[in-house]
Structure formats: C-alpha cells, structure tokens
Amino acid sequence: MLALTRIPPEDEALRGEIRAFVEPAISALPADVRARSWMGFDPAFSRALAERGWVGMALPREYGGGGRGVFARFVLVEELLSRGAPVLAHWIADRQSGPMIARFGSEAQKRFFLPGICRAEIGFCVGLSEPDSGSDLASVRTKAVRAAGRWRLNGRKSWTTNAHRVPYMIALVRTSGTPADRHAGLSQMIVDLAAPGVTVRPIVDLTGDTHFNEVAFDDVMLPDEALIGNDGEGWAQANAELAFERSGPERLLSSQVLVDEWFDWLRTRREPPEAQVAALGAILARLVTLRAMSLAVTARIAAGESPMLAAALVKDLATLVEQDIPASIADLLAGLPDFAGGPAPRETDGDSPPPEMLMRTLAYVAQISPTFSLRGGTREILRGVIARGLSLR
C-alpha cells in the first residue's frame, strides 16, 4: 500500500510549542481580522516570533537562521495561518526574499540582510508584476543600465505587496536587450525604497484594505552590489522562487478561519441543518486530501527535487477549494429560513441566526477569494505549466 508522507516527529514536536505562543497572542483579534492573516501586518508579533527562532527558521544558522528543514516550516505555517495570525510583517522576507538571498546572493548581501530578516527587522517586497506585465513576466520593461559603476533604474512595478511598509524590494528588471528578447537579459536587483526617485502609491483593494502598491522608479541610482546573482540570470532565479512558494500549506488555509467560525456556530445549533453538516464534511475531506498532497510535494523538495508540475497542480486544486468555501457557505446560509422576518428565535432555542462575526468573516473572505488564484501565478498560467509537464503542449 502507498505510504502517505508524515511530518518527522522532531518537526511535529514544534506544533504544541508554537500553538501555545500563538493562541494567547491572537485571542483578542476578531475572526474577520484574523481572516486577513496573509495581509495582517503586526511588526511586534513578527519580532516576538523571531525571538523564538520562528522567522528565518529554514535559513542557514551562520546568518542567524534556524537551519531547520521544510517540514519544520510546514508545521509553523500551518499553525500561523490556520489560526489567522498576522504574518505580513515578516512573511515575504522569510518566505521568498531570504531564501533567494541565501541561495543566489553575495557573501556581503547574506551578511547584511539575512540576520535582520531573521530578527524580523528587515522587510522585503517582491517586484515582478508591472502595469503591462503580469502573467507574461518575461515582457518586463523596468530597466537598469550601467552608469559610472552604478545602475540607473527606470520603470514601474504594480501590485507590489508591502512596498509602502518595508525598506527593500527585490525587483526583476531588464539589464540588457529589449522586451522582445524575453528571458534573456533579465536580472534581479535589491532596491532601497528610500532612495531618491522611488515613489510608492498604495492601491486599495475590493475589500477597502491597502496592502499592495504601484512603485515608480525615476532615475534611481543603485550601487553595483544591488545585483543579486549573475547579470542576465534573473529569469531562472525568479522562477526558482515561484516554484518554492507554490505548494505549501499556505495554499490550503486562506479560508480556514471562516471554516472554523462556521463550524463553531453549527455546533451551537440544536439541530444543525443536514445540508450544512454534509457540506462541512465534504470541505474537510477535500482539505485533508490536499494536505496529504502538499506534504508529498514537501517531501520531494526535502529530497532536493524541484517538483514544478506537482507544485502547480497542488496550488491549482487547493485554491479551487479555498475559493469554493466562501461560495458554498454563502449559498448554505442564504438557504436558511429568513431570520429577519417573523419572530426571532430565542437564544435558548439553540437555533439563533448566524452571528454577525460569522457574516462579517464570510463577507471578507468572499470578497478577497478571487485573489487566491491570482497571487503567485494565475490558474491559467499554472494549467499551462501542468500541461507542459505532462507533454501536452
């Protein structure tokens, strides 16, 4: 019989310790705030996590990291996101920029940035997308040209999460050739967002929150050492980063606070509607299966493989479920008797209407859920990766 991947005991052992820290730290936050987890920005919470060694956990010890493997990080991410902890103050640096610098950065870059990332004192944003380059990333137009031993940067990035709150961006830019050259001639640069010529304009999303931005570069002068890795190899580096972030537990848990809130309410009802209990069971069965798939991909990453196809498959399937959850719960609640008309059921009946906090959490998750399959590569782009991996195109 096929054996399912299990988290090694020494990594699973972290769970209780993390839970004991996270639970009291977030207990005062209402569910509709916790539902924002990825977007929740709380530097004090991130620094407290860092003090316990839970930021930069997978980065090398010699630069302040924890030297732990991907399974330890799997446990940490599950515990943080399933409870809706505010992770954004360290999330991008911990998950993307730190590993990128550790892998491709110079010794000086590692010594300067990684310890600060591990203390949750240095935050990063990722500058890939541009107003005319999203899915078609190879067409980026932002350009850095050599100028007296430095780089002169001009162009515009968009949808840049966190750019209004962090000091640095890792940007994918063209350092030679033209957009027609596609993957050739792209490089990655660390941009100091306080440099003259950088303008950050926040963009408000559908829910009224501000987490991403448009960032303009007008003759921004960067030092020679802003380049990460080799000139012209930015495409391969950026793709390595995207593959790394596609299949983790973060792709299953975006609607988890809502599921728990709904479940808590169902448990208060004298006779939970059968359709709702059945729907809850179906959702949990899909989540458990996807978690097993995510763990299987994690095992391959731990073994040193780069499972692009499997990671894309997990992200595509998991974001479908994450998006189905608010849609299904909304349909089920809409099918309940109209609590607004007729005599209100008494609290003591055990058949009270859905509480306001459940409805607020549902409203937020329903509005934000389209983004689940946009961030980190859209559904159509992932399906292209899957088709290519299966030799279908």
Q: Decide if residue 294 touches ligand FAD (CB under 6 A).
A: no
Is 114 or 172 the residue whose CB approaches ligand FAD more closely?
172
The minimum distance between CB 191 and ligand FAD, in angstroms, equals 13
Residue type, 207: T
Q: Decide if residue 178 touches ligand FAD (CB under 6 A).
A: no
Residue type, 151: W
Q: Decide if residue 117 touches ligand FAD (CB under 6 A).
A: no
**Catalytic residue selected from 78, 79, 241, 245:** 245
Write out the two tokens for 30.
């209402």
Write out the two tokens for 348.
């003591």
CA-wise closest residue to 133 among 107, 151, 158: 158
The string of DSSP codes covering 55-105 is SSTTS-GGGT-----HHHHHHHHHHHHHHT---HHHHHIIIIIHHHHHHHS
- In this structure, the strands spanning 124-127 and 168-174 are parallel
The minimum distance between CB 157 and ligand FAD, in angstroms, equals 6
Rounded CA-CA distance 189/172 in Å is 7
- In this chain, which stretch among 76-84, 128-136, 142-150, 300-308 interacts with ligand FAD, using CB under 6 A? 128-136
- In this chain, which stretch among 7-15, 123-131, 293-301, 352-360 interacts with ligand FAD, using CB under 6 A? 123-131
Rounded CA-CA distance 143/156 in Å is 9
Residue 258 in contact with residue 321, Cβ under 8 Å? no
- In this chain, which stretch among 29-37, 56-64, 129-137, 303-311 interacts with ligand FAD, using CB under 6 A? 129-137
Please report, as residue ranges, which positions from 206 to 225 form the binding site for ligand FAD (by CB under 6 A).
212
- In this chain, which stretch among 116-124, 241-249, 302-310, 375-383 interacts with ligand FAD, using CB under 6 A? 375-383
Q: Report how far apart, in Å, the C-alpha atoms of 346 and of each of 12, 268, 342, 351 are.
A: 44, 13, 12, 7
Please report, as residue ranges, which positions from 296 to 355 form the binding site for ligand FAD (by CB under 6 A).
none
Q: Decide if residue 381 touches ligand FAD (CB under 6 A).
A: yes
Counting residues that bind ligand FAD (by CB under 6 A) gives: 17
Is 125 or 252 the residue whose CB approaches ligand FAD more closely?
125
3-state SS class at 305 = coil
Please report, as residue ranges, which positions from 136 to 165 form the binding site for ligand FAD (by CB under 6 A).
159-161
202: exposed, middle or buried (C-beta count within 10 Å: 0-12, 13-18, 19+)? middle
Is 212 or 262 the residue whose CB approaches ligand FAD more closely?
212
Neighbours of 188 (CB within 10 A): 28
Write out the two tokens for 59.
């980065």
Q: What is the separation, in whole angstroms, between the first and last Cα of the chain?
A: 33
Q: Where are the beta strands (DSSP E) in 100-167?
A: 124-127, 143-147, 150-157
- In this chain, which stretch among 16-24, 124-132, 264-272, 306-314 interacts with ligand FAD, using CB under 6 A? 124-132
Q: Decide if residue 169 touches ligand FAD (CB under 6 A).
A: no
State yes or no: is 233 an active-site residue.
no
Is 80 or 125 the residue whose CB approaches ligand FAD more closely?
125
Applying CB under 6 A, among 129, 175, 255, 361 the residue interacting with ligand FAD is: 129
Q: Decide if residue 128 touches ligand FAD (CB under 6 A).
A: yes
Neighbours of 379 (CB within 10 A): 16
Q: Decide if residue 255 touches ligand FAD (CB under 6 A).
A: no
Is 163 or 259 the residue whose CB approaches ligand FAD more closely?
163
CA-wise closest residue to 102 among 282, 228, 275, 284: 228
Residue nearest to ligand FAD (CB): 134
Q: Decide if residue 60 touches ligand FAD (CB under 6 A).
A: no
- In this chain, which stretch among 3-11, 98-106, 126-134, 328-336 interacts with ligand FAD, using CB under 6 A? 126-134
CA-wise closest residue to 167 among 187, 190, 189, 143: 190
DSSP class of 338? -
Rounded CA-CA distance 36/361 in Å is 9
Residue type, 129: S
The minimum distance between CB 135 and ligand FAD, in angstroms, equals 3
Q: Decide if residue 200 touches ligand FAD (CB under 6 A).
A: no
Q: Which residues lie near ligand FAD (CB under 6 A)?
A: 125-129, 134-135, 159-161, 212, 371, 374-375, 378, 380-381
Positions annotated as catalytic residues are: 245
